[in-house]
Chain A
């Protein structure tokens, strides 16, 4: 969830009133925002870098507000204020208009070289805008928020904003070899080639995160004006030449990317938010973008879409009984201008370009519910009549857990992920023999594989509890994972039971006795007759020699066909036993002993 930080006093001035922190918190809650933190620049710096560094920093009160991840229109002070003012019916939602300039329209021409790297671009102009320091900061901050969220860290869309008065169109969006791109980037005093820049920015804490997007491509995207001035090298950096300042009056905005829909949304959000400060508020000057196939489009789209939803549907989905007129009023408060039409039960809803999140009637239903107030909705119980069932595997697990505890064993809860070493090397097994699934992107060795046996977790639990009085008697009933090509995903879980007895003397008979007890509980009699179990020595211990191996033949029972696997182990300073199930017609559990 993105967090927007706004100056409290600036916010209150824009809202036309002040709130106590509690009142504002309440307002946020109702609207679906969260007042996450009340702080100041000074406080933030002192928390992160210590009191000395914070010396002289601003102590203006900041509100940090959590905004839902799909509400790009609330990512800046301007949008938050507009949203809340319309919600509180203090203003009407503005109408955003695209206007064609009297003079020549700004043109951005896309060449086909961009196709393989970053094929889409959109553009617009904010004419006669009036920045102040605060507005300018907010403008920059909004771009950053968009970059981090909908733009997926500039991978999908990157924004460039320029002082149009320093440039001359038409503009060309093309792609060139990095060594052929040379310009003076933002806030640098000399020119560098793109290759040099990529090196310089490797140590730049902010920009280094975006380099990978184009790093290994043969061609880098770049935008020139008609005089060959570089506007930007998306998605990395703008040119210094067209840098905007507080005094900039005409802003040229370009968004390039790999996702056309998102590029259009991003452009719409920027221009709807900041056209407020233009000489003609909410009027946005159009720009023309010519695609390599010769087709030309006019941006920003600023498309208004109409949806018709029946009032009774909204009532039925929310669980309220409001008149169509009231529902239209509720929706209008959510920035969705609505009116009752047709038979008097239909509501026509206008979805503005700021509300790209509204893609289905269910989004409209939610807005009606928010405006109505979630906490005003009458609660009811569904009349859904059902008979509850337990998942048989879990039902058996629950029963066994209690009886394992009754047998004097204590339940451990260990991780399903572990290192390759834990399930292979440390048990004297080769990793390829484990059939383990491997994780491709573990941050540490603890998350290399999913466990194929519960034993390492129990042994680690013992290792961490050596100060406890002996004996330690532990068990765990949980899932392990192995590859299995008969399953749709190529892997499956098995439910295992593992138990460990740890003491100064071996006590094999104790773990053996527990096994007998489990068999008794599962109604499996000892002996070789059908449905019984026997323990036999088996061969091929994976452990150190000399080893005593005992294997347990467990004749299959109908109750076990749910795929339960049993495993049981014991460890005492070098002694270990393990039992494993094999395929039908009987299951084998291996007790592995090493002395």
Chain B
């Protein structure tokens, strides 16, 4: 410290300009009193005096004067008393003479209210030599420069301390979308588990691959206009693998491969209808069909994450399009226990360890199981996925060997992401209405890590 400065403040009372005038000339009421001759004065005349208005009302309330309203030429003012003591003037003169302390608190505040007195605070600094007193002045340095280093002057230069309480300047950077960051993690998990990615770059699908190939009957409610987007143009698929189509038709309408079938009139026109795929299982069906054509059979593990479309009623958690995550394993002798084992490994990688399985119904898997996990926050079991073993009526017409089982599971990408990032409305996560600030601020996606503490910094 070069110098030390000590703050000393004093308070004193001072007269205002009006107060000084009164100290000199007397209060307005006293001046009014004095201007009234013994025979009285017309009120209108009195009001024209400089102190008239204020002085009149004060003198009236002090009962120094009176008004005779019955006078011939209008109201007339008369003295009531012979002489008056001008207290106000006297008090102001005391203050002027530096004796303000002689007045009581009440008297002072009354004068202050009349704007005749003000309290003035005087701040002064008592300056003395500091511990590092010097007569040569140097500025504190904020940065170390190459010159300081080469000249060695940094040794003697004073440096300004860093302010760690201030926020730093965020770097200019691009940002990845939080949902797609989660997608990357899911891809990573599947790849770590040895699953090969299926091509899913075909949003348009025929009813055949989307439904019929999966042994989903043509009257199934999902094939309703209310649930599925059908196409007007191109309305129908141009080509279908007709050999396979015939096997599918027979299985639906008459059964076969050990099945009773659905026993209905299967129509090719219905299978040709184009639609926006309602699930990526259509892509899985294509992948399994391709696998079935390879001889001899080679075991396979497949996955996909891509968009699917539903003509549904929209709400806070449902949009017309969302991403589906799907995993498939095809091998000899796979069991329900294997499905559960794979699911356990998969969900463990997501940081979900408490699982249980509920019997369920899916048109194309049997047995089917819904996967539930215990949600600590909600304190209940919530559904986290759906799974099952594909029906033989789906696999055998494709040409897969009879002892090959295919286990599969699926879940949406949006739901775990919403839980992960604490988002309640899906529109805040997906689509053009998202707040880019949310994208800028979203943290890394580490699915297996414990949820971090709530963010304390506000948004920039």
How long is the Cα–Cα vector from A363 to B258 in the complex, in angstroms? 11
Instruction: State the Cβ distance, B395 to closest chain A Cβ, in Å.
Output: 10
Interfacial chain A residues near B359, Cβ < 8 Å: 31-32, 68, 366, 369-370, 374
Interfacial chain B residues near A362, Cβ < 8 Å: 366-367, 389, 391-392
Interfacial chain A residues near B184, Cβ < 8 Å: 398
Of the candidates B197, B238, B337, the one whose C-beta lies within 8 Å of that of A378 is B337
**Contact code string A410-429 (vs B, CB < 8 Å = 1, else 0):** 11111111000000000000
Instruction: State the Cβ distance, B417 to closest chain A Cβ, in Å.
Output: 11
**Contact code string B419-457 (vs A, CB < 8 Å = 1, else 0):** 000000000001111111101100000000000000000
Closest to A402 in B: B176
**Contact code string A360-377 (vs B, CB < 8 Å = 1, else 0):** 111101100110001101
Residues A386 and B174 in contact, CB atoms below 8 Å apart: no
Of residues 460 to 479 in A, which have CB atoms within 8 Å of B's CB atoms? 460-461, 463-465, 468, 472-473, 475, 479
Residues A405 and B234 in contact, CB atoms below 8 Å apart: no
Instruction: State the Cβ distance, B356 to closest chain A Cβ, in Å.
Output: 5
Residues B309 and A417 in contact, CB atoms below 8 Å apart: yes
Residues A495 and B201 in contact, CB atoms below 8 Å apart: yes
Interfacial chain B residues near A304, Cβ < 8 Å: none
Q: Give the segment of B89-97, B119-127, B327-335 that binds chain A.
A: B327-335
How long is the Cα–Cα vector from A453 to B299 in the complex, in angstroms? 39
Known: A384-B331, A439-B230. A416 touches B307 (CB 8 A): yes
Instruction: State the Cβ distance, A31 to closest chain B Cβ, in Å.
Output: 7
Interfacial chain A residues near B232, Cβ < 8 Å: 438-440
Closest to A364 in B: B366
B199 within 8 A of A: yes
A491 within 8 A of B: yes
Instruction: State the Cβ distance, A74 to closest chain B Cβ, in Å.
Output: 11
Interfacial chain B residues near A473, Cβ < 8 Å: 174
Q: Give the segment of A6-14, A314-322, A529-537, A577-585 that binds chain B.
A: A314-322
- Number of chain B interface residues as a range: 35 or more
Interfacial chain A residues near B398, Cβ < 8 Å: none
- Number of chain A interface residues as a range: 35 or more
Interfacial chain B residues near A409, Cβ < 8 Å: 174
How long is the Cα–Cα vector from A406 to B175 in the complex, in angstroms? 8
Known: A261-B262, A490-B238. A388 touches B173 (CB 8 A): no
Residues A488 and B240 in contact, CB atoms below 8 Å apart: yes
Residues A390 and B335 in contact, CB atoms below 8 Å apart: no
Residues A317 and B432 in contact, CB atoms below 8 Å apart: no
Of the candidates B179, B198, B309, B344, the one whose C-beta lies within 8 Å of that of A391 is B198
How long is the Cα–Cα vector from A495 to B237 in the complex, in angstroms? 22
Of the candidates A363, A383, A394, A450, the one whose C-beta lies within 8 Å of that of B366 is A363
Known: A405-B176, A485-B238. A443 touches B311 (CB 8 A): yes
Residues A472 and B389 in contact, CB atoms below 8 Å apart: no
B172 within 8 A of A: yes
B225 within 8 A of A: yes
Interfacial chain B residues near A386, Cβ < 8 Å: 194-196, 299-301
Residues B276 and A450 in contact, CB atoms below 8 Å apart: yes
Interfacial chain A residues near B392, Cβ < 8 Å: 360-362
Residues A381 and B342 in contact, CB atoms below 8 Å apart: yes
Residues B274 and A489 in contact, CB atoms below 8 Å apart: yes
**Contact code string B334-373 (vs A, CB < 8 Å = 1, else 0):** 1111101110110000000000111111000011110000
Residues A316 and B202 in contact, CB atoms below 8 Å apart: no
Interfacial chain B residues near A441, Cβ < 8 Å: 225, 229-230, 311
How long is the Cα–Cα vector from A217 to B369 in the complex, in angstroms? 44
Closest to A155 in B: B219
Known: A34-B358, A495-B201. A461 touches B434 (CB 8 A): yes
Closest to B240 in A: A488
Interfacial chain B residues near A479, Cβ < 8 Å: 201, 203, 307
Residues A394 and B197 in contact, CB atoms below 8 Å apart: yes
Of residues 99 to 114 in A, which have CB atoms within 8 Å of B's CB atoms? none
User: In this complex, which of A319, A360, A483, A489 has the most chain B Cβ atoms within 10 angstroms of its Cβ?
Assistant: A489
Interfacial chain A residues near B173, Cβ < 8 Å: 405-406, 408
Residues B194 and A493 in contact, CB atoms below 8 Å apart: no
User: In this complex, which of B193, B196, B407 has the most chain A Cβ atoms within 10 angstroms of its Cβ?
Assistant: B196
B190 within 8 A of A: yes
Residues B336 and A491 in contact, CB atoms below 8 Å apart: no
Interfacial chain A residues near B264, Cβ < 8 Å: 259, 261-262
Known: A362-B367, A447-B320, A483-B234. A405 touches B174 (CB 8 A): yes
Instruction: State the Cβ distance, A362 to closest chain B Cβ, in Å.
Output: 4
Of the candidates A319, A388, A402, A489, the one whose C-beta lies within 8 Å of that of B337 is A319
Instruction: State the Cβ distance, B52 to closest chain A Cβ, in Å.
Output: 61
Known: A366-B359, A413-B430, A442-B229. A377 touches B337 (CB 8 A): yes
B233 within 8 A of A: yes
Interfacial chain B residues near A152, Cβ < 8 Å: 219, 221
Residues B360 and A406 in contact, CB atoms below 8 Å apart: no
How long is the Cα–Cα vector from A475 to B191 in the complex, in angstroms? 26
Residues B336 and A319 in contact, CB atoms below 8 Å apart: yes
**Contact code string B385-411 (vs A, CB < 8 Å = 1, else 0):** 000010111000000000001010000
How long is the Cα–Cα vector from A316 to B404 in the complex, in angstroms? 12
Known: A259-B219, A386-B300, A412-B177. A381 touches B367 (CB 8 A): no
B204 within 8 A of A: yes
Interfacial chain A residues near B338, Cβ < 8 Å: 319, 380-382
Instruction: State the Cβ distance, B230 to closest chain A Cβ, in Å.
Output: 5
**Contact code string A161-177 (vs B, CB < 8 Å = 1, else 0):** 00000000000000000
Interfacial chain B residues near A413, Cβ < 8 Å: 177, 179-180, 430-431, 434
Interfacial chain A residues near B62, Cβ < 8 Å: none
Of the candidates B200, B221, B259, B356, the one whose C-beta lies within 8 Å of that of A359 is B259
How long is the Cα–Cα vector from A439 to B231 in the complex, in angstroms? 4
Of the candidates B201, B276, B341, B368, the one whose C-beta lies within 8 Å of that of A381 is B341
How long is the Cα–Cα vector from A491 to B260 in the complex, in angstroms? 35
Instruction: State the Cβ distance, A23 to closest chain B Cβ, in Å.
Output: 15
B326 within 8 A of A: no
User: In this complex, which of B230, B299, B335 has the most chain A Cβ atoms within 10 angstroms of its Cβ?
Assistant: B335
Interfacial chain B residues near A387, Cβ < 8 Å: 194, 196
Residues B237 and A489 in contact, CB atoms below 8 Å apart: yes
How long is the Cα–Cα vector from A442 to B260 in the complex, in angstroms? 36
Residues B321 and A411 in contact, CB atoms below 8 Å apart: no
Of the candidates B175, B176, B229, B432, the one whose C-beta lies within 8 Å of that of A460 is B432
Residues B366 and A366 in contact, CB atoms below 8 Å apart: yes
Interfacial chain A residues near B319, Cβ < 8 Å: 415
Interfacial chain A residues near B301, Cβ < 8 Å: 384, 386, 388
Interfacial chain B residues near A560, Cβ < 8 Å: none
Interfacial chain B residues near A377, Cβ < 8 Å: 336-337, 340
Interfacial chain B residues near A442, Cβ < 8 Å: 229, 311
How long is the Cα–Cα vector from A583 to B72 in the complex, in angstroms? 115
Interfacial chain B residues near A366, Cβ < 8 Å: 359, 366-368
How long is the Cα–Cα vector from A489 to B299 in the complex, in angstroms? 29
B63 within 8 A of A: no
Instruction: State the Cβ distance, B108 to closest chain A Cβ, in Å.
Output: 55
B235 within 8 A of A: yes
Instruction: State the Cβ distance, A147 to closest chain B Cβ, in Å.
Output: 13
Known: A381-B338, A450-B204. A491 touches B435 (CB 8 A): no
How long is the Cα–Cα vector from A412 to B368 in the complex, in angstroms? 36
B140 within 8 A of A: no
Instruction: State the Cβ distance, B419 to closest chain A Cβ, in Å.
Output: 18
Using A71-B361, A390-B197 as known contacts, list a sample of 6 further A-B pairs with CB atoms less than 8 Å apart, ordered by residue number in A: A316-B333, A360-B257, A380-B335, A413-B179, A437-B274, A491-B231
5 contacts between A and B (CB under 8 A): A362-B391, A412-B434, A440-B231, A461-B434, A479-B307
Closest 6 CB pairs of A and B: A319-B337, A32-B359, A319-B335, A490-B234, A68-B361, A366-B367
Residues of A within 8 A of B (CB): 1, 29, 31-32, 34, 68-71, 149, 152, 156, 259-262, 316-320, 359-363, 365-366, 369-370, 374-375, 377-391, 393-394, 398, 401-402, 404-417, 437-443, 446-447, 450, 457-458, 460-461, 463-465, 468, 472-473, 475, 479, 481, 483, 485, 487-493, 495
